Structure 1
Amino acid sequence: MIAPQATDTKHWRFHTDVEKIGWLTIDTPGASVNTLSREAIMELETLVARFEDLASSGELIGVVLLSGKDSGFIAGADISEFDAMSDFSVLPEALKRTHALFSRIEGLRIPVVAGVHGFCLGGGLELALACHYRIAVNDDKTRIGFPEVNLGIFPGFGGTGRSIRQAGPVDAMQIMLTGKMLRPGAARGLNLVDKLVRHRDMLRWEGRKAVLQKRKSSEAPLAKKALALPLVREAVANQMRKQVAKKARREHYPAPYALIDLFEQHGDDWRAMIRGEVDAFVPLMGSPTATNLRRVFFLSEGLKKQKVRGERFARVHVIGAGVMGGDIAAWCAYRGMAVTLQDLDMDRIKPALDRAKKLFKKRYKKKHEVDAAMLRLTADPKGTGVARADVIIEAVVEKLEVKQSIFKGVEGKIKDGAILATNTSSIELERIAEALDKPERLIGLHFFNPVAQLPLVEVIRSRFNSDEAIGKGASFALAIGKSPVVVKSAPGFLVNRVLMPYMLGAVERVEKGESKELLDAAAVAFGMPMGPIELMDTVGLDVGKSVASELGHPVPEGSRFAQLIAEGKLGRKTGEGFYRWEKGKPIKGETPNHPDLAALGKELVRPLVDTTEVVVGEGVVANADLADIGVILGTGFAPFLGGPMRARADGRA
């Protein structure tokens, strides 16, 4: 018998082989990643109808679903369609249609096998869970999960119920509530994946075997399912709410709470859970939180388009092994670069190496990976690495004359094309560059503390710099997994410029007798990740004073602020500042009652918002969008508000 001819649509390729196995490949046109757009789903409906016909006639014994992209399986639904899809007249029907399609796939009498490599996220994982069996490549590029909560929603293509069916209620809910991306081994351990293979080229062979052997995934064991039974589900749901409340307030981020409510209603019946998705999901999609989080996503993705093609960075030299310099060096080594770290002597460099090892142990799973990273990070007290480095970053004390001296000393040693950068947090580049023969070579690469956690790097442009130099700086930031925002050289640049009025205003209120605990609680109620006093302690009182002075806000003599600095109580790094710190956490007293914490928080944050408007007006950043994403990434400003400029426009700040 002759096998049916191949069928190609815009997003899918399908053919059957001589064994009557169907091979379905998704390959989104003109994109580096696969997404499930409305068009792709409509095409899949047509293909599934064909599978049903071929299976009924005995011409198809199974289907293997693979990806044609190197980047991975499916990164999720097409987020660019979400604004249009948030229309209440469109979304419910679209969700029901996709539910019906995935149920048809699940209901096929022939095995359907998903072969996963790279990203399998959101709607992609929901489609994989509708298949009967899942195979994944067991390497570091494979990531499996539901990141929807980061966009203000939760899985809406049946993923809530099917993940609970496979992994059990607690594990599945944890994945959805956190948005955590799982490595393949963890996904296998949670029964979201049935088999692991070593290489992508093994997916076809294992997929074939799975079809021929009619393999089918098993559900979670009864012991796990018991936690969704009516007698215990309410208690489990309440515990989930308590955990979510530690990180997100319901009025700011309604999606995780809506998901928990859905679980409390239907958690013991995965099919009912899927049916309940539509009514719970629809209000979230068009909510201000989801709308703003989508905007933040697109702004963040836009920063990645600054990459300069052909630029490669293999060697980095960092001058200054203090907290910032050492942590920048460690991060670059973690990202795979060879790094030399310079300071006056080994006594100053060793603490940075010790911190780096802690970072590597935390980030890597295997000892040999930690050892390899440590080999990439070399102590270099004599600065011999300068001549070979592709990037030289100065991160010493915030003193103009010290920085000028360093750059005068290295300018003649660096190779052509190397990036010469300062990590200054507030000093204008033109003043530092005055000491150089070629001032156009110096750019700013301003990192934020803690380096391993905060994604922003301000790429500072002086009046001397060319587009090429700034482009290379942005490209380097992307190469080490950071988000570059280009800002003009001006006192405080963007983030410190807007943060200082906010923090100093709060400090001034504490000086006048207001409760620091109350002010911090109010800022958190508004939506900030931490309050301004805790933030000042985290930044370091000495750093805060230095930046404040650069911006023309000197710390008054005789103030509590000045007294703490004089006593060496500089905040978290010394164990005491405005707060006493233990194990990296501030010890706080009781928070006084207040009738409207959020309103007080809005009042506290107003100087930050006002200053952001001024910075945009002065052209320090190119536009309000860049100001918003820069302030969100650099300060943690409430993402659900879309940034200070969007919040002001919406009347929410």
Structure 2
Amino acid sequence: MSDKHWQLQRSSDGYAWLMLDRFDRDINALSSEVLEGLDEQLTSLERQPARGLVIASAKANGFIAGADVEQFRGLDDEETALDLILHGQDLMERIENLPFPTLALIHGFALGGGLELALACNYRIAEQQSRLGLPEVKLGIHPGFGGTLRLPQLIGHLPALELMLSGRSLSAKAARRIGLVDQVVPQRQLHDAAEQLIRRPPKQHRPVWHKRMMGTYLLRHLIEPILMRRVKQRVRADHYPAPFALLKLWRRYGAEKRQATAEALSVARLICGETAQSLVRVFFLQEKFKRQGDKSLFKGRHIHVVGAGVMGGDIAAWSALQGFRVTLQDRDAAVLARAVKRAHDLFNKRLKQPLAVTAAMDRLIPDLRGEGVAHADLFIEAIIEDAAAKQGLFRELETRAKRNAIFATNTSSIPLEVLADGMSHPERLVGIHFFNPVAKMQLVEVVVGERSGRDAVKKACAYVRRIERLPLPVKSSPGFLVNRVLMPYLLEAVALVERGVPAARIDRAALEFGMPMGPIRLADTVGLDICLAVAGVLSEPLNLAVPTLLRERVAEGRLGVKSGNGFYRYRNGQPVVKGQVDGSGLTRREITERLIGRITNEAQACLRDGIVSEADLVDAGIVFGTGFAPFRGGPLNFLRNRPEPDEVTPRHGVVVSGGV
């Protein structure tokens, strides 16, 4: 029996395989239509039971990625949401109650609702490279298809809560270690392992007694306040309500069957809320980023990076980590040695396996004499911010490079049009602007100059996708997008200090709005000398006033964290906050308005000036580039859905003007 998505195959000896292959998507996700199809297949199995059932994916890339997030977008009716969730719960319970052994055969990934389906089965086998997790909290909800009941029953209450509260995914090996899967096998053995297990099913896994004890009424009520305090240290309930809702659910019900309805009601409320809808929006913005670069358009294998300082060395290391052969050129052997040491540390942290680390180190080749130039498909320049030096470098590289090679600069301050002067083929020059630290920042601005060719831009975006980063095409202009938005915000914060507002109060206002770090702390972390240098570049074209206080701090050598003293004093890298009198007369709301107004206003100006092609990409760039409160969906989305009058609104109206 089959439909558009599911195929049920029965063997002559009574065993069945139920395969999911969404005909309308590249990956499997549980839409309402897919769930309807599953309903029909389960009805067939209930009417004509098998001796055993294997549920698997017919797609090569993975098992099931979760619920179809598309159905969450714009959802504002809790009753509609509840019906969808209850239907999913009912199907999982029917799988659980089938009168014969059931096995989920996992490869690639089993995430969210996909893992919840696997949890409803008696057994789980995972391929070695699989990732398993319940990432719902990252979308502003928690598991809703029975995962909050079945996961604690399978692996124990505290490990289950940690997995659900963090939203992180586990390797197959780690999943096996905690009892989430029964076997881990190579890809080539998946089918045989499934056949053997379903025909001779072993005793089902149960967590050890002390892990089960954590779910008793008394211990839940003792443990939940501790977990709640830990969550409050990371996020605020009014910003991210999902983890708090999950803990309240667990405290009241543990993993009892009667929790199911409460689980569904909780998710229905959350998914229709502003936080979840904004995080769903950010999810789709991330997917939109991925479509900015088609990986297949850059077929090159060799990257040549010139400049082995922190930025250049880290770009080279990240590219090698992602499988490219990289030659890293610098005239200073000591600088190269430090870059290679940082790369080795990165590889050890990310790869862990000695053979994989060795392979990555073999791909990263220190190159004092530039011998890699003749073989490179892409050049990335990361030398000092000197226009003449960069121009000379590109002219030299052009004479030695392959005819189809692409040239890129990581500059944040020199226009591409200036760097292209003297090049025979300026259409091959683009900007690829990484942010520090390279290994953590997902966003990469792909800078398009007046003479940048479409082919070069497409290949640059494709390279960024191949290194698992998010490419944002931006117009060559002062500050591009991120620095243009971020710098006025930081300067406004310094101006508030100059006016008499304590730095800690400014930072607290930003944190309460939802920023990941206060602007004063951020300026100290970046380095006040760097902030001043960037402000100097942007002040004239963007008509920015650079506060005298910032110049004075730099002149005094108070540069922030790196000097131990900036706007804060630092002890062991942490700010020492002392009580200060606020002489400004400004309310918390006014401080927040002035800070966030600078971001929203500059975001609008960037859209108006064509720095980025559309509003969604402006929001996405600012969320992923500056950390702008993700639960607000981006600054332009925040303006469109402005809160009630007692919340934050731009002080001087929606369009006031005025990014490191």
- The TM-score normalised by the length of structure 2 is 0.93
Q: Secondary structure at the match of 1:465?
A: coil
In the alignment, what sits opposite 1:170? 158
Structure 2: gaps (5+ residues): 644-648, 650-660
The partner residue of 1:552 within 539, 546, 552 is: 539
CA deviation string 1:421-459 (max 9, x = no partner): 011113221122123222221100000111111100000
CA distance in 2, matches of 1:581, 1:591: 16
CA deviation string 1:87-122 (max 9, x = no partner): 223222222222122111111110011100001000
In the alignment, what sits opposite 2:172? 184
In the alignment, what sits opposite 1:3? none
CA distance in 1, matches of 2:494, 2:591: 15
Superposed counterparts of 1:265-276, under 5 Å: 265-267=252-254, 269-276=255-262
Given that 1:426 and 1:496 are in contact with CA atoms closer than 8 Å, whether structure 2 keeps it comes out as: no
Superposed counterparts of 1:455-470, under 5 Å: 455-470=442-457
The partner residue of 1:362 within 341, 349, 359 is: 349
- For the pair 1:399 / 2:386, whether they are aligned, the reply is yes
CA distance in 2, matches of 1:576, 1:386: 42
Given that 2:446 and 2:460 are in contact with CA atoms closer than 8 Å, whether structure 1 keeps it comes out as: yes
CA deviation string 1:187-228 (max 9, x = no partner): 1122111111122x3222111222211335322222012222
Given that 2:325 and 2:364 are in contact with CA atoms closer than 8 Å, whether structure 1 keeps it comes out as: yes
Q: Secondary structure at the match of 1:552?
A: helix
Q: Secondary structure at the match of 2:365?
A: strand
Superposed counterparts of 1:321-360, under 5 Å: 321-360=308-347
In the alignment, what sits opposite 1:21? 15
Given that 1:525 and 1:598 are in contact with CA atoms closer than 8 Å, whether structure 2 keeps it comes out as: no
Given that 2:293 and 2:471 are in contact with CA atoms closer than 8 Å, whether structure 1 keeps it comes out as: no
**Which residue identity lines up with residue 98 of structure 2 in the other structure?**
L
CA distance in 2, matches of 1:557, 1:9: 65
CA deviation string 1:270-306 (max 9, x = no partner): 3233332012111101111111111111111012123
CA distance in 2, matches of 1:514, 1:582: 23
Note closer, same or farther for the CA distance 1:396–1:588 as it changes in structure 2 (3 Å cut): farther
Note closer, same or farther for the CA distance 1:69–1:216 as it changes in structure 2 (3 Å cut): farther
Superposed counterparts of 1:76-87, under 5 Å: 76-83=66-73, 86-87=76-77
Superposed counterparts of 1:50-89, under 5 Å: 50-55=44-49, 60-83=50-73, 86-89=76-79
What's the offset of the Cα at 1:567? 4.9
Structure 1: gaps (5+ residues): 1-6
Superposed counterparts of 1:301-340, under 5 Å: 301-308=287-294, 309-340=296-327
Note closer, same or farther for the CA distance 1:310–1:488 as it changes in structure 2 (3 Å cut): closer
Note closer, same or farther for the CA distance 1:557–1:488 as it changes in structure 2 (3 Å cut): closer
CA distance in 2, matches of 1:276, 1:296: 27
Superposed counterparts of 1:151-300, under 5 Å: 151-199=139-187, 201-267=188-254, 269-300=255-286
Q: Secondary structure at the match of 1:324?
A: helix
CA deviation string 1:485-527 (max 9, x = no partner): 1110011110000111100111122233321121112111111
Note closer, same or farther for the CA distance 1:245–1:596 as it changes in structure 2 (3 Å cut): farther
Given that 1:165 and 1:270 are in contact with CA atoms closer than 8 Å, whether structure 2 keeps it comes out as: no
Given that 2:628 and 2:634 are in contact with CA atoms closer than 8 Å, whether structure 1 keeps it comes out as: yes
- For the pair 1:103 / 2:93, whether they are aligned, the reply is yes
In the alignment, what sits opposite 2:405? 418
Matched residues, number = 639
What's the offset of the Cα at 1:597? 4.7
**Which residue identity lines up with residue 271 of structure 1 in the other structure?**
K
**Which residue identity lines up with residue 299 of structure 1 in the other structure?**
L
In the alignment, what sits opposite 1:131? 121
CA deviation string 1:249-275 (max 9, x = no partner): 1111111111111111111x3323333
Q: Percent identity?
A: 41
Note closer, same or farther for the CA distance 1:84–1:521 as it changes in structure 2 (3 Å cut): closer
- For the pair 1:43 / 2:32, whether they are aligned, the reply is no
Q: Secondary structure at the match of 2:201?
A: coil
Note closer, same or farther for the CA distance 1:557–1:266 as it changes in structure 2 (3 Å cut): closer
CA distance in 2, matches of 1:265, 1:81: 29
**Which residue identity lines up with residue 233 of structure 1 in the other structure?**
R
CA distance in 1, matches of 2:232, 2:135: 18
CA distance in 2, matches of 1:528, 1:235: 32
The partner residue of 2:620 within 615, 629, 652 is: 629
The partner residue of 2:567 within 559, 572, 578 is: 578
Note closer, same or farther for the CA distance 1:175–1:110 as it changes in structure 2 (3 Å cut): same
Q: Secondary structure at the match of 2:638?
A: helix
In the alignment, what sits opposite 1:435? 422
CA deviation string 1:137-171 (max 9, x = no partner): 112xx110011111111111001111111111111
Note closer, same or farther for the CA distance 1:486–1:555 as it changes in structure 2 (3 Å cut): closer
Q: Which has the larger displacement, 535-544 or 597-606?
A: 597-606
Given that 1:427 and 1:492 are in contact with CA atoms closer than 8 Å, whether structure 2 keeps it comes out as: no
What's the offset of the Cα at 1:469? 1.3
- For the pair 1:639 / 2:626, whether they are aligned, the reply is no
Q: Which has the larger displacement, 275-284 or 212-221?
A: 212-221
Given that 1:520 and 1:530 are in contact with CA atoms closer than 8 Å, whether structure 2 keeps it comes out as: yes
CA deviation string 1:333-369 (max 9, x = no partner): 1111111112221112222222212211221222222
What's the offset of the Cα at 1:232? 2.2
Q: Secondary structure at the match of 1:271?
A: coil
CA distance in 2, matches of 1:98, 1:558: 57
Note closer, same or farther for the CA distance 1:372–1:591 as it changes in structure 2 (3 Å cut): farther
CA distance in 2, matches of 1:395, 1:641: 34
Given that 1:20 and 1:61 are in contact with CA atoms closer than 8 Å, whether structure 2 keeps it comes out as: yes
Note closer, same or farther for the CA distance 1:555–1:347 as it changes in structure 2 (3 Å cut): farther
Q: Which has the larger displacement, 503-512 or 295-304?
A: 503-512
Name the Cα RMSD after superposition. 2.1
CA distance in 2, matches of 1:138, 1:75: 17
In the alignment, what sits opposite 1:515? 502
What's the offset of the Cα at 1:613? 0.6
CA distance in 2, matches of 1:222, 1:595: 57
CA distance in 2, matches of 1:545, 1:644: 25
Given that 1:495 and 1:634 are in contact with CA atoms closer than 8 Å, whether structure 2 keeps it comes out as: yes
Q: Which has the larger displacement, 92-101 or 473-482?
A: 92-101
What's the offset of the Cα at 1:635? 0.2
Note closer, same or farther for the CA distance 1:226–1:454 as it changes in structure 2 (3 Å cut): same
**Which residue identity lines up with residue 241 of structure 2 in the other structure?**
P
In the alignment, what sits opposite 1:386? 373
In the alignment, what sits opposite 1:4? none
CA distance in 1, matches of 2:443, 2:335: 26
The partner residue of 1:34 within 28, 36, 45 is: 28
